[in-house]
Each structure stands twice: as structure tokens, then as C-alpha cells.
Structure 1
Amino acid sequence: MDTYSIFRQIADSWVLLAMFMFFVGTVLWVFRPGSRELHKDAAQAPFRNDQPATDGETRGAYHKEARQ
């Protein structure tokens, strides 16, 4: 048997099984109990340093320039 056939058989069986187990493990890790707060915190990360725009500042000036 040549090297290609040996590696092909390994890839078709054991590597496929290992990748499937990695996928199942990742899904179980993401949906584990207690991870909800971590996911909420990560989802809000881009907005942590945002300052709310006031009515006469940047937003209004941008819209005035866009209309002209």
C-alpha cells in the first residue's frame, strides 16, 4: 500500500472523527452554564468607550454638510 492511500484512510476516519469531536466540544463549551454573562460582556465591548451624541454636536453638523 502506498503512502497516499494510508494517509487517505486515516484522514477519512480518524481525522474526521477528531474534527467532529472538536466541533462538538466547541459547541458545548460555548453553551456551557454560566457563560451567558461572558458573552454579553463580549458583545458590548465595541460600545464601552462610546460617548452619547448631544443634539447640536457632531451628528447635526454632519447632516447639515450632507444636505449642502
Structure 2
Amino acid sequence: MQDYTVLRELSGSIGTVFLVLSFLGFVLYAFRPGSRSVHEDTADIPFRHDDKPASDQDISAAHSKEARQ
């Protein structure tokens, strides 16, 4: 019974460490230096066709650009 208790506490600690390291990895990945252009492009999606509706050519170009990323 004592082995179960030790393993249970150890797995809880290891799980916590794993989740903290995963979170830090995700944050570092999101704020890496090369991702600024991707984030700016994604943030501008709602405003791309503010002045006029998108044409069929614009839509197909946007789909092909998104597929390449």
C-alpha cells in the first residue's frame, strides 16, 4: 500500500511539472521572434475587404495562401 501512495504523489508532481513546462513551451512558441508577421496577418483577416466585397479571384488567392502556411 505504501508503494501506491508514493507512486501516486510522484505522478502528481511529475504531471504538474509536465503541464508547467508544456505551458511555458506554448508561450515561448507563440512569442518567438519569427511569428510576428503570422500574428499580424491573422489579426487583419476581418479587415481585408473593408472597402469592397471580395471578388472570386481574391477568395481563391486567400485560400491558396492559407493552404501554404
* TM-score with structure 1 setting the length: 0.58
Query: What RMSD over aligned residues (CA atoms) do the two structures have, in Å?
Result: 2.2
Partner of 1:32: 32
SS across alignment from 1:49: coil
Structure 1 runs, 4 residues or longer, greater than 6 Å off:
none
Compute the TM-score of the two structures, normalised by the length of structure 2: 0.57
Higher helix share: 2
Alignment of 1:43-62 (within 5 A): 43-51=43-51
Aligned length: 50
Residue ranges of structure 1 left out of the alignment (5+ in a row) = 53-68
Task: Note if 1:19 corresponds to 2:7.
Answer: no
* 2:61 matched residue in structure 1: none
Task: Indicate the percent of aligned positions where both proteins have the same amino acid.
Answer: 40
- SS of the equivalent of 2:39 reads helix
- Bigger radius of gyration among the two: 1
Q: Distance in 1 between matches of 2:19 and 2:39?
A: 24
What is the CA-CA distance between 1:50 and the residue it aligns to? 2.6
